[in-house]
Chains A and B, each alone.
Chain A
Amino acid sequence: MNERFEISPRLRNTSLALIAVGIIALVAGLFNLKLSHDHVDQTRFWIVLLHNSVFFAMVTVASIFILAATSLAQGGWIVAYRRVPEAIGANMWLFGGIAVVVLLSIVYFFQIDGHNPIFHWVHPDGDTILEGKKAFLNPTMFTAFTVITVALWSYFGFKFRAISLAQDLAPKGKTKLYFYNMKVAALFLVVFCLTMMSTTPWLWVMSIDAHWYSTLFSWYNFASSFVSGMAMIMLWVVYLKNQGNLKIVNKEHIHDLGKFLFAFSVFWTYLWFSQFMLIWYANIPEETTYFKVRMQGPYSIIFYANFIINFIMPILILMARPSKRNYFTVTFMAMIIVFGHWLDFFQMEMPGPLGAHWHLGWYEIGIFTGFIGLFIFAVSKSLAKHSLVTSNNPLLKETIIHQS
């Protein structure tokens, strides 16, 4: 089966316009915030870039994870639109690369009066807690972990796509590549455990509040990024379906993705609440400071909005079977979920460096818009490069007659 996706001029122009908005916001931020004498403005410039680049890198790696997980579990349901997560995963180098540039710039080039307002551990002098964590939290370790992580993710992102494309050309009935793909998937899951499910969120996000720690943090980050990653896949599948592509995708496949949105929204809430409740119950001052500023401080609006958008809305709207099979509801919920988890990362990252001086204004929204544009642009390029439907995949028949 061969089905090409052609980028419509409308999609290309929209994505370029969104990128332009992002670039304008970046340039305006450079002059208004970065070159300002106000320390809060300078911090805001960097932390917003960190927030968006980390969010999009983690959303992108979620696609590689779902490919690996379904390859290993021999999930037939995803094969119908497997090219979508493949195309997103193939852009790991781009979003991972941006994250590396932003993170390393913050670690090495950003300092005010001899200390780093975002990563306090860069200059731990005189702080006994940070000096105690110096063996792990230091620029060399940070650089090594970050670069290796993104390099491995990008490698596997390319690899899954390459295997899938090679399968198209392979002789019919040959399963050698199919089983090779499973081996690569198993290997990736090990990498994923050691990065996204542990070290990466520690270094990229949790080390912003360097004094505080939570053992659940990486799982919580994983749940947040995974459900937004599934929402992104959903948006692409519905878009392609609307354009008349992906003819073998029907409501059964949409229903499966809808179940993922529903289930992982609940899973996210489970982890979010588990982390919160233990700290609330134990009531130890050095742990509760994290929630004090978020729940009762200046971030309480975002904190509760986060809960309503990411839990109450999905559980009530996506619970019924018909709503998971309705293109409008799932598209609407996917957009809500992406925005909600963007907000979740916002409230993880902003309170540490900015405190009460947070904004959700032109700069934050502008940079977010730019990243959305870049995501649409890059992924549509990758999608258009090859056939939208895999052929010769042993599970192809299973996916066509799939019933959820």
Chain B
Amino acid sequence: MAIKKFAVACYDDEAVLFPAIDKVRNSGYKLHDVYTPFPVHGLDQAMGLKETDLHIAGFIYGITGTSTAVGFMSWIFTKDWPINFGGKPHFSLPAFIPITFELTVLFAAVGMVLTFCYLNQIMPGVKKHVFHPRQTDDTFVVAIELSEHTSEAEVLEFLKSTGANETNVQVAESEWWYGRFDKKEAYELS
């Protein structure tokens, strides 16, 4: 829950966007995020994002699902409520495999979706500030986080020099929050 100040620059073209991101990073400004209308290959590397750890989380969820399924079924069919199915042994692993597989996939899938939502800070009901209405349409939007020491005019000048066709400064919530957009007073900087 931190209200911060952002400098926003809009670009028309990927070919301008990539050098601009390079310049922003080289000049030491803090890149908040880049919003594009479609997934752009190589943008992660250009922005210097680190490899995601989502797959490690997925592995842990999967293992949890496997052990839940095997453990629970073994307990049910050997201790809690043993039933004779066609003369098979009570602990018959081959019959458990399909359910074990399904539960592994279910745990991994649901867990990874929730983790993905958390990492990207999206969830039903969560409000995100939209820096530019055309960022889902035809415009590439770069947002730079400003500190109180940064000179706004200097940043906007710099962004213009990287080829931005529209620049402005916005005050916005930087984290995720449940609430309403129209609390104007929240955006007033103290």
Contacts and interface: CB of A to CB of B under 8 A. Distances in A.
B95 A281 contact: yes
Contact of A277 (B86, B87, B97): B97
Contacts of B98: 277
A273 interface: yes
A226 B87 CA distance: 38
Contact of B41 (A277, A280, A403): A403
Contacts of A321: 51, 55
Nearest to B41: A403
Interface string A255-290: 000000000000000000100110011010000000
Contacts of A273: 94, 97
B98 to A, nearest CB: 8
A403 B95 contact: no
A277 B94 contact: yes
Interface string A279-323: 011010000000000000000000000000000000000010100
Contacts of A280: 94
Nearest to A321: B55
Contact of A283 (B41, B55, B86, B97): B86
B59 interface: yes
**Would you call the interface of chain B mostly helix, strand, loop, or mixed?**
helix
B42 A403 contact: yes
Interface residues of B, number: 11
Nearest to B42: A403
Nearest to A277: B94
Contacts of B41: 403
Nearest to B86: A283
Interface in A297-353: 319, 321
Interface string B96-111: 0110000000000000
Nearest to A276: B94
A276 B93 CA distance: 12
Contacts of A276: 94
Contacts of B59: 319
Contacts of B86: 281, 283
B146 to A, nearest CB: 33
B109 to A, nearest CB: 16
Contacts of B55: 321
Interface in B70-108: 86-87, 94-95, 97-98
A365 B41 CA distance: 48
Nearest to A281: B95
A319 B58 CA distance: 12
Contacts of B51: 321
B67 to A, nearest CB: 16
Contacts of A281: 86, 94-95
Interface of A: 273, 276-277, 280-281, 283, 319, 321, 403
5 contacts: A273-B97, A277-B94, A277-B97, A280-B94, A403-B41
Given A277-B97, A281-B86, A403-B42, 13 more contacts: A273-B97, A276-B94, A277-B94, A277-B95, A277-B98, A280-B94, A281-B94, A281-B95, A283-B87, A319-B59, A321-B51, A321-B55, A403-B41
